[in-house]
């Protein structure tokens, strides 16, 4: 019996599973598994397909982070790009960072991250792994309902932007005669050709070859600052994942410049609290919200590119620090302040194979379609991650050349002892750490299966004492939270609360159980 309205049940299988927000992408990954690929091959195939079948949330010109369970440990890959060498505070008109156009564009990291994941862990040839995505782009596919809705909103928003730099976007995503609706067909030969070049060259062409030259030329012709040298200098980074303990499990995240540490701080605070035994308890929700506010406030104060700024990761994850932050939580909502530890456009996917390898991968252009800049004739929609730089020169995340910005996208992973439990994630801007906390609590504290953990009504802290809740939370709980001083707002757009995927593995039997976001078109595909 499902405790929340849903038409979905969890999916169970033994041989392999792919869970993501678009069914065709899930099928691409499943196809690669059935062809003999491993979980990493399936993850890359799914990620590449998502640039085609869900361009409303990611693209070839985006970034990627991944956690891989292999050989008994969690491996982390930071595939985020840096700001152009020519970008600095003086380049910003009026001292403000725009949301669209060339200025917020940072170096895309996704293509190189695909190649680096494959080089270290892949089994099938790289060209074979990208083949399903290329076929979708070349032959076309039918739009799913949530995708079509987001696409239509994207076109409406893009038509408000003026300038020659935005015209190739319309040529690519709103060609003559195309109307995004469920079942409408879309294809892109340019996108297919670009993916073929990436596949043949192991992504080298994107950073040092013909594709890099085309990006450079278009930037110079239309006032952009991204150059071939920025692309050639880009490298992914293998990183040591960070974790906290919650109820005898370890929850893993990528370290900064990602914001996963916000979720870990909140869980560290909550692990020392006696939460009510039922999920739908106003006091328990109050404690969760307060812990999340403190975690987020610290993240916004300290998270930056660790190659440039000293990010106090270990201090922020210290149980003693969590205890001090926990002591600030009372019966009423607080206005959070950062502590002193020294004293909406993303796709997520999870994969698992029959041999035990598992992948948690997230990929994004940010703000839906990204910057609105598409390199003509390539299908490359560029991200706008530079918008997350801080414009206070004294802040650790201050805008500077060759620097990675604060990044919202975060993959999650759960282990218990020496065993992998599995990958999880909830995409969606600053909702993501909050979604991570909620699905982990739903799983470990409240005993929900993967689909239930995703279907449960969500809340989202936005700023100060303001909290948005889904209507499914109910009037009684909402009134009780308001009585505790929370400025409560009912958000009717389900997309505002993120879109998640989960795959858990039973350590004794090897059986996989998966759930896929009911707020999206997604699917947990298995065999």
From 46, 51, 222, 346, active-site residue: 346
CA distance 401 to 305: 12
Q: Name the 3-class secondary structure at 161.
A: coil
Residue owning tokens 């928003």:
157
Name the one residue in this structure whose structure tokens are 């893993």.
252
Neighbouring C-beta atoms of residue 240, cutoff 10 Å = 12
- Judge contact between 219 and 102, C-beta under 8 A: yes
Q: Are 65 and 411 in contact (CB under 8 A)?
A: yes
DSSP-assigned beta bridge partners for residue 382: 61
Strand partners of residue 185? 142
Nearest-angstrom CA–CA distance, 286 and 488 = 12
In angstroms, the CA 247 to CA 178 distance is 51
Q: Is 415 a catalytic residue?
A: no
Structure tokens that stand for 158 in this block: 């893009």
Angle at which helices 110-121 and 126-139 cross, to 10°: 140
Q: Which helix (H) or strand (E) holds 422?
A: strand 419-427
| Three-state secondary structure string covering 77-89 | EEECCCCCCCCCH
Q: Is the alpha carbon torsion for 195, 385, 347, 507 positive or negative?
A: positive
- Within 13 Å, how many C-alpha atoms sit on residue 315's CB side? 12
* Coil vs helix vs strand at 325: helix
Specify the residue for token string 């449960």. 456
Residue 364 CA from chain centroid, whole number? 6
Which SS3 state, helix, strand or coil, does residue 139 take? helix
Place of tokens 């005993």: 447
For residues 97 and 104, the answer to whether their CB atoms sit within 8 Å is yes
Which helix H or strand E contains 353, and what residues bound it? Answer: strand 346-353
Q: Report the catalytic residues.
A: 346
């Amino acid at each position: 019996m499902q405790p929340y309205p849903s038409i979905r049940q969890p999916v169970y299988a033994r041989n392999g599973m792919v869970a993501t927000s678009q069914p065709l992408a899930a099928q691409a990954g499943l196809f690669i598994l059935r062809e003999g690929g491993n979980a990493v091959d399936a993850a890359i195939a799914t990620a590449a397909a998502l640039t085609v079948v869900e361009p409303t949330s990611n693209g070839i010109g985006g970034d990627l982070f991944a956690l891989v369970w292999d050989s008994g440990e969690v491996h982390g890959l930071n595939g985020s790009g840096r700001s152009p060498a020519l970008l600095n505070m003086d380049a910003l008109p009026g001292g403000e960072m725009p949301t669209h156009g060339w200025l917020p564009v940072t170096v895309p990291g996704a293509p190189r991250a695909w190649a680096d994941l494959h080089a270290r862990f892949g089994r099938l040839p790289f060209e074979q792994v990208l083949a399903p995505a290329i076929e979708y782009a070349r032959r076309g596919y039918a739009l799913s309902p949530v995708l079509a809705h987001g696409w239509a909103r994207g076109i409406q928003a893009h038509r408000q932007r003026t300038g020659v730099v935005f015209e190739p976007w319309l040529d690519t995503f709103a060609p003559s005669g195309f109307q995004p609706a469920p079942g409408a067909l879309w294809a892109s030969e340019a996108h297919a050709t670009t993916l073929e070049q990436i596949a043949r060259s192991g992504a080298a062409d994107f950073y040092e070859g013909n594709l890099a030259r085309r990006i450079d030329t278009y930037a110079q012709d239309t006032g952009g600052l991204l150059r071939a040298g920025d692309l050639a200098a880009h490298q992914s980074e293998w990183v040591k994942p960070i974790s906290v303990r919650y109820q005898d499990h370890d929850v893993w995240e990528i370290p900064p410049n990602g914001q996963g540490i916000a979720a870990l701080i909140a869980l560290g605070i909550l692990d020392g609290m006696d939460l009510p035994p039922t999920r739908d308890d106003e006091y328990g929700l109050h404690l969760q919200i307060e812990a999340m506010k403190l975690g987020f406030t610290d993240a916004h104060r300290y998270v930056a590119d660790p190659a440039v700024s000293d990010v106090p990761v270990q201090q922020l994850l210290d149980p003693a620090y969590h205890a001090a932050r926990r002591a600030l939580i009372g019966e009423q909502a607080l206005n959070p302040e950062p502590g002193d530890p020294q004293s909406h456009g993303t796709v997520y996917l999870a994969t698992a194979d029959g041999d035990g390898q598992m992948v948690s991968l997230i990929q994004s252009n940010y703000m839906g379609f990204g910057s609105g800049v598409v390199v003509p004739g390539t299908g490359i929609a560029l991200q706008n991650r530079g918008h997350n730089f801080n414009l206070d020169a004294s802040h650790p995340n201050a805008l500077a050349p060759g620097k990675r910005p604060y990044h919202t996208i975060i993959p999650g992973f759960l282990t218990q002892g020496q065993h992998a439990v599995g990958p999880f994630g909830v995409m969606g801007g600053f909702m993501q750490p909050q979604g991570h906390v909620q699905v982990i609590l739903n799983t470990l504290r409240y005993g929900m299966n993967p689909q239930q953990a995703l279907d449960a009504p969500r809340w989202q802290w936005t700023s100060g004492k303001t909290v948005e809740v889904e209507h499914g939370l109910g009037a009684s709980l909402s009134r009780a939270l308001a009585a505790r001083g929370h400025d409560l707002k009912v958000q009717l757009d389900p997309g505002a609360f993120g879109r998640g995927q989960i795959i858990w593995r039973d350590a004794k039997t090897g059986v996989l159980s998966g759930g896929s976001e009911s707020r999206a078109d997604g699917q947990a595909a298995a065999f």
